Structures are given as structure tokens and as C-alpha cells.
Amino acid sequence: MRNHRQNWLDIFSTFRVAFDFRKMLLGAFGVAVTLLVLLAIFALASQFWPSAIARADQCYRVPTEHVGPTVQLVWNRYREALAHPFRLPSNGPGLAELAFVNGTIVVMLLWWGLIGGAICRLAAVDFAKDRRIGIAEAFRFASRKLGSFFWSPLLPFIFILIFLACNAFLGLVGRIPAAGPILLGLGYWLAAVSSFIVLLLAIGGSLGMMYMWPTIAMEGTDTFDAVSRSFAYLYSRPWKTAWCVLVAWVYGAVCMAFAVGFTYALLWIAQASVSFGLGGSQLSFLGSTELWSRSLEPGAGFPEKFAAILVRVVYFLTCGLLLGFWASFKISAMTAIYAVIRRDVDGVDMSEVFQPEAEEVEVEAATEPASEESDSTQET
């Protein structure tokens, strides 16, 4: 059983919770599939966006320079498509781009609802009980709760669209000749109230989203409980939430800097030592060792090309685990913050976590022999 401090200092146990090969492997797998899905969508989008593949290739080669502008470009085209959904593809973005972007959002939410839900369940049990469950068990839990993991981030924004549609309907009423402006003026207070609710939903849905998955993973509840708890915790403890998030960000930045430096040093030492054995004199990080440069020569033979493939596999796997650690840390930090705020609001101990009946039976079976031994020693 983990010894919790029962306050925000428990956030500093996130690194130990996140630094788990199973969570990192799931995170790396989730990131890899996400990239493949996005690449496939870019390929399909090339039918009405000729430069889509070129953009994807630029993002892959120089991500620091091209990812941000590409996201901004996609967002601008998406907003234009929302404004003119039935425009022909030759005249600009329209219904096809709306379908692609909305379809991508749905696919990503489903995928990360499964992968992220499994990681969140692993982190919840590890953080609360200091017990590591199997990946299969975490996937079973995530698959049972996939609907909740999928719908909980979407539900506030669905209600936002409903309230905005009501405001738009009031605008349509205002277009009625003669009586329309009068009805609009009489009902405009409803639009103000609706807009107030929209703001509350937007703030709670965007900032309280970090509570939704941990609620499902730790409580075993449904979508509505996840949304209600996220709004209740955010609005009842806004400054405590902001402080916990700030601590998690700073701590996460330090941990990620350590992880990146450790990974860089690991790969540099491996490549430098291999280069020394091959007689190479340059030891830079990417591509100047003897093994790497020989493999890229036009006349390189099969052994060199095969070795280059294996070297690249090691690089990709190592960097993939680094991305997996980032995903694991983020979800583990969300779980820790949820436990802190739950303790502050509801007074629930941080070691409390939902356990299905099968798990409860296993825990009871594991504790019974120990209790019997203690009883026998007391009798003697």
C-alpha cells in the first residue's frame, strides 16, 4: 500500500507511476497508430488538398518548423468549411473537409479513449494501491468503459452546440417581417442566459476535461458522473486546481528534460562506442558514424543496408518509448491531480479506487492467508 501525504505533494509521485514500461509501451503504441492514421487521412485528403502529402512530409522531417503552421492551416480551412459547408471543392473547402476533420476527431477520440483509458486505469490502481495490474486487465476495463471515455470530453461541447443553435433560431425568428424584431427583442434575454451557460460549459469542458478520464478510471462510473465531477471539482476548487496544474507542469518539464537528456545520452553513447569500434572519427548524434554513413552510400551492400534498417528500428523504438513516457506522465499527472482535488472536496482517501468484483475476490483471497497466520500467532 502506498503511503500518501493526502495533499498536493503526492503529485511528485507521478514520475514513479509514469515510469512504467507497460504505460510507456501503450503510450508509444497510441502515438504510433495516431501518426499512421493521420498520414492515411492526409493521403485521402490529397484528393481536394494537393499539397497535403507534402505538408505531412515536411512535418515529419522538420516538425519544429512545420507542425504549428500546418495545424493553423488546417484549422483555418476547417473554419472556412464550417462557414460554407456546401461549397464545391473547386471553390475552396467544404463538406468533404468537414467530414474528414470531424471523422478524424471521432477516430482519435475512440482510439485514445481505449489507449488512454487503459493507461489511466493502470495509473489509477498504481497511484492508489501501489499495485500494478496487467495490460489485458486494463484493456478489459477500458473496453467496458469505452463509451464513457469517448463521450465524456464531447458532452459539454454537444450542449454548447445545442444552446448556440437556440440562439441561432432566435436570430431566424428575428427575420420574420414586422413581428420578428419585436420577438427577437423580447426573447433576447434568453440568448444572454444561453450565452452565460455556454461560457460555463466551455470553461468547465475545456479545463475540467483533465478530471473526466481519472473519474472513470478511479470510480468506475459513467459519462454523466465524469462530467458532473469535473465541473464540481473545477468550480469548487479553481485555485487549488490551478496550483496543482502548475506544479504538474513544472515537475513534468523537469522530468521530460531528464528523460530527453537520458535518451540523448543513451543513443549518443551507443553510437559513439560502435563508431569507435568501426574506426569512425566523427561522433555526432544523427548519421555521421561509419555504420550510418556506409549504409547510405549508393553502392552499399545488403549487410550495410540491413544493419541500417536495424539501427533505425532501435532509434525509432527508443524515441517512441520517450513519447510513450510523455503520454504516460500526462495521464498519470491527471490522475494524481484528480485524487488530490477529490480528497480536498469529498474527503475521500487517495488510496480509494474502484475494483471490479473479480479484483475484490483476488484481493480478499490474497489477504486471507495473512490474516489467518496473524490469528494463529495471537492464539499461540
Question: pLDDT by residue (tens digit) across 245-272?
Answer: 999 999 999 999 999 999 888 888 887 7
Is residue 370, in this structure, part of any structural domain at all?
A: no
Q: For 354, left (φ over 0), alpha (ψ -120 to 50), or beta? A: beta
361 domain residue, yes or no: no
Tell the residue number behind the cell numbers 486505469, with chain if given: 121
Which of 369, 338, 371 minimizes the C-alpha distance to 354? 338
CB crowding 269-292: b at 16 or more within 10 Å, else e = eebbebbeeeebeeeeeeeebbbb
In a domain, 377, yes or no: no
**Structural contact between residues 335 and 20, judged by C-beta atoms closer than 8 angstroms:** no
Asked, for residue 183, whether it belongs to a domain, the answer is no
Report which residue type is found at 54: A
Count of the separate structural domains present in the chain:
1
Residue 169 half-sphere exposure toward CB, CA atoms < 13 A: 9
Does residue 116 fall inside a structural domain? yes
Alpha-carbon gap, residue 251 to 235, rounded angstroms: 24
Given its phi and psi angles, is residue 6 left (phi above 0), alpha (psi -120 to 50 degrees) or beta? left
Alpha helices (H) in 62-94, listed in sequence order = 63-83
Helix, strand, coil proportions of the chain in percent (round to 5)?
Answer: 85, 0, 15
What band does 86 get if pLDDT is binned at 50, 70 and 90? low
- The domain containing residue 301 runs over which residues? 8-145+237-356
Q: With respect to residue 329, please indicate whether it lies within any of the assigned structural domains.
A: yes
Residue 370: what pLDDT?
A: 47
For residue 369, being part of any structural domain is answered with no
pLDDT of 166-222, one tens digit each? 998 988 888 888 888 888 888 889 999 999 999 999 999 999 899 999 999 999 888
Per-residue pLDDT of 24-42, as tens digits, reads 999 999 988 888 887 777 7
How much is the mean pLDDT over the chain? Answer: 80
| Entry pTM | 0.80
Residue 188 located in a structural domain: no
